[in-house]
Amino acid sequence: MKNDTQAVTRVLTAHVPLPIADKVDQIAARLERSRGWIMKQALSAWIAQEEERDRLTQEALADVDAGRVIDHQAVQAWADSLGTDKLLPVPR
C-alpha cells in the first residue's frame, strides 16, 4: 500500500467563509503543518463521521424491519416520569 506522499490525489476546491479560512491558517501555523494537511485531516474526520452515521442509520432501519422497536407511548411515559418521584423503568 502506498503511503500518503505517494498516493494519487485530486484537487478539490471550495469557497470557505473568511473566518473559517483564518482559523484553518491559525491551526496550520500552530501545528506547523500546511493548510492542505489541515484540510485533509478535517475532511477525513468528516467522512468517517458520515460513514458512521450511515452505518448506524442502516442498523436502526434493520432493527425496524425486524420489529425491534419500542412503542412511542412507552418512551413518552418514561420521559414524562423523569424528575418525578415515580420514575418508570427504561422501556425495552
Q: Domain span at residue 57?
A: 18-81
Q: What is the rounded distance in angstroms from the CA atom of residue 5 to the CA atom of residue 44?
A: 16
The structure's pTM equals 0.73
User: Is 11 part of a structural domain of the chain?
Assistant: no
pLDDT, tens only, 11-62: 999 999 999 999 999 999 999 999 999 999 999 999 999 999 999 999 999 9
For residue 55, count CB atoms less than 10 angstroms from its CB and return exposed for 0-12, middle for 13-18, buried for 19 or more. Answer: exposed
User: Is 9 part of a structural domain of the chain?
Assistant: no
User: Is 35 part of a structural domain of the chain?
Assistant: yes
Is the CA virtual torsion 80, 83, 89, 92 positive or negative?
positive
Q: Residue 6 gets which letter from DSSP?
A: G
User: Is 2 part of a structural domain of the chain?
Assistant: no
First to last CA, the chain: 45
The number of domains in the chain is 1
